[in-house]
A and B are shown apart, each in its own frame.
Chain A
Amino acid sequence: MSDNRLAIEVAGLVKTFGKTRAVDGVDLAVPAGGVYGVLGPNGAGKTTTIRILATLLAPDAGTVRVLGHDVVREADAIRARVSLTGQFASLDEDITGTENMILLARLLGFSRSGARERATELLTAFDLTEAAGRQVKTYSGGMRRRLDIAASIVVSPDLLFLDEPTTGLDPRSRNQVWDIVRALVAGGTTVLLTTQYLDEADQLADRIAVIEHGRVIAEGTSGELKARVGGGAVHVRLRDAERRPEAARLLTAVLGVPVELASDPVSLAATVSDAELVARGLTELTRSGFEITEFALGQPSLDEVFLALTGHHADADGGPGGRSEAAGAGLPAASATTKEPVA
């Protein structure tokens, strides 16, 4: 599947619910093979888009072709070749893991014994043997996710949709899901995943579309996007909250970028790409007698990406008022952060 054909072609996709334009003119060109990431805050239109691509919702306008088939007229042909792992476990929680898997295998045409074999094989592969006989509602978040993905590959799909596969998972389960996604891609499946986390898109996706208010606001490889965003983010926590403004002034002077003051009264953050500059900033802080309790150099948060791409904070709920800087209801970081340019 490593040819140059497009797995998904979307042009001018629109979907409205009442007065809300959940998807407002999305264009996508997803190459076959590899992982394509759709990055955006809650309510950006990610789930609606993925549901249309998986033939669960009919588009209001625009053309959508999945694996060469029209999503409205040839839905059945698409269903035969794609799988969807929804944002909330797409499983029957009242029955056991094994029963879920057998159910799906039977519906995909396996014989009774074939379905049982396939169920065992997949449950073993996904480390779920011990939990196989328990009701799914007793599973932990990570186990549920694994079972959910296992259910999606009963017959290996050509294209797999993963809607926020790691939201709410602990780091270990998240790593497992990432390993699984990489294995799927190595096996020849194209994966389209949505996420709220830049580091997830960065780790997994070959190309990323950033989506907000139902529109694609940026698209490219992770490297291309980072070049636009500015690479990394430094987070510093001080011991003394009262000295924060002073520390912010110093750090701004060294880094040459505005420093963000989050709601956490001892926290400072800035978007920088040069690790050496950060080291110098930290040295300066220590030398000037600031006590640093914690610091981290990491990926910019989704909010910082949006700030860099659009000049405003990521905003979950849309609407005309939503575009102002202060309104950011979606992410805790967004609503709590005030941008304060320091002289």
Chain B
Amino acid sequence: MTTASTNATSTEAAAGDAASTGAVADPAAAVATPFATPEPRTPAGGIDERVRAALSLRSRPARPSALSACVTFGWRALLRIKHVPEQLFDVTAFPIMMTLMFSYLFGGALAGSTDEYIQFFLPGILVATVIMITMYTGVGLNTDITKGVFDRIRSLPVWRPAALVGMMLGDAVRYTVAAVLVICLGLAIGFRPDGGVVGVVLGVLLLLLFAFSLAWVWNILGLVMRTPNAVMGASMMVLFPLTFGSNIYVDPETMPGWLQAAVDVNPISHLVTAVRGLMHDTVTAGQLGWVFLWCAILVAVFAPITMRLYARR
């Protein structure tokens, strides 16, 4: 539909765009245009005709289902990973560093030997790394909001939570990458789970479920705070006490009584206990029940608040 010559001019225009943007921002340039005399037009290749033809579609297809919208937004998250793979740095470098550092630095001191410690510690550090990187959900949301694309997304007639849920599904991929890395690294340095493959997979799934539920908290920070750095700072303030004040690194029996009491009600402790149980095949229904309860509470409380803030923003 376009002739060879118009193709050539449009390429030139594209190059010209970039080169001359600075110069034309000058309002004086606009003023200098002769009054009532339109500038000489280079043949635009009939863009108006083609646009008119492309406009013919006025009937709207049926609104996508909530699930389809979520999946589409999840696809967007994956595309972003594909184009900006650097963003996987935090889910790869951080878990490797944490696992190696704690196993070898503290393993001997805490459990007699690295080999023994890793059996206790690996499910814990798995939880810690994935929970730590959930905060990037809020950071990512905050970054997204500052860009224009968010306005377009919010002005679409789709199920409102889809954009957020889709983003979180994309994040689940990142969590999985981190989890697989930590487990592979653990297996390489002596982790031998009694629960076998099934136990490990179930443990990871439980962790992903909890991470998804917890991410709603960071969504709120992402919507309320002004900058991604502020979101990161605030998330750290919550995450550090939450992960260290748990049974991830050490057996709480060595702690003072008041701290033990705090550690016992920490949802992270419940999660670690259940993940350990699944991986070592010692899990009880009660342990799982606690985790499901926490997930339900997190989503029931924080998802509605998030959606309220999202609608107002």
Chain A positions within 8 Å of B, measured between CB atoms, are 51, 54-56, 58, 76, 79-80, 82-84, 86-96, 99, 103-104, 106-111, 114, 118, 121-122, 124-127, 130-131, 135, 140-143, 150-151, 153, 155-156, 168-173, 175-176, 179-180, 182-184, 186-189, 196-197, 199, 203, 232-233, 235, 275, 296-299, 301-302, 331-333
Are A103 and B151 within 8 A (Cβ)?
no
- Please name all residues of chain B whose beta carbon is closer than 8 Å to the beta carbon of A171 when the two chains form the complex: 24, 29, 33, 39
What DSSP secondary structure best describes chain A's contact surface?
mixed
* Contact across chains for A109 and B152 when beta carbons are under 8 A apart: no
In the assembled complex, which residues on chain A have CB atoms less than 8 Å from the CB atom of B28? 333
Q: Determine whether B35 belongs to the interface, using a CB cutoff of 8 Å to chain A.
A: yes
| B-side contacts of A83, CB under 8 Å | 155
The CA of A54 and the CA of B284, in the complex, are separated in Å by: 52
Across the interface, which residues of A come within 8 angstroms of B237, CB to CB? none
Q: Is the interface of B mostly helix, strand, loop or mixed?
A: helix
User: Which residue of B is nearest A106, CB measured?
Assistant: B72
- Whether the Cβ atoms of A109 and B62 lie closer than 8 Å is yes
Q: How far is the CA of A151 from the CA of B38 in the complex (A)?
A: 28
Is B84 interfacial (CB-CB < 8 Å)? Answer: yes
- Asked if B248 is at the interface (CB within 8 A of a chain A CB), the reply is no
- Selecting from B50-58, B99-107, B259-267, the interface stretch reads B50-58
Among the listed A172, A187, A196, which residue makes an inter-chain contact with B16, where contact means beta carbons less than 8 Å apart?
Answer: A172
Q: B53 — which chain A residues lie within 8 A by C-beta?
A: 125
Contact with A along B140-161 (1 / 0, CB 8 A): 0000000111011111111000
Report whether A91 and B149 are in contact in the complex, using a CB–CB cutoff of 8 Å.
Answer: yes
Report whether B64 and A95 are in contact in the complex, using a CB–CB cutoff of 8 Å: no
Question: Knowing A89-B148, A171-B39 touch, does A107 contact B51 (C-beta < 8 A)?
Answer: no
B72 touches A103 (CB 8 A): yes
Q: A92-B76, A168-B25 are in contact. Are A58 and B312 (CB under 8 A)?
A: yes
Beta-carbon contacts under 8 Å, B130-186 to A: 147-149, 151-158
Check: B45 CB closer than 8 A to any chain A CB. Answer: yes
- Convert B61-91 into 0s and 1s, putting 1 for each residue whose CB lies closer than 8 angstroms to a CB of A: 1111000110011011001100110000000
Output the least CB separation between B4 and chain A (Å).
13
Contact in complex: B30, A197 (CB < 8 Å): yes
Q: Is B10 an interface residue (CB 8 A)?
A: yes
A55 B32 Cβ-Cβ under 8 A = no
Which chain A residues border B44 with CB–CB below 8 Å? Answer: 175-176, 179
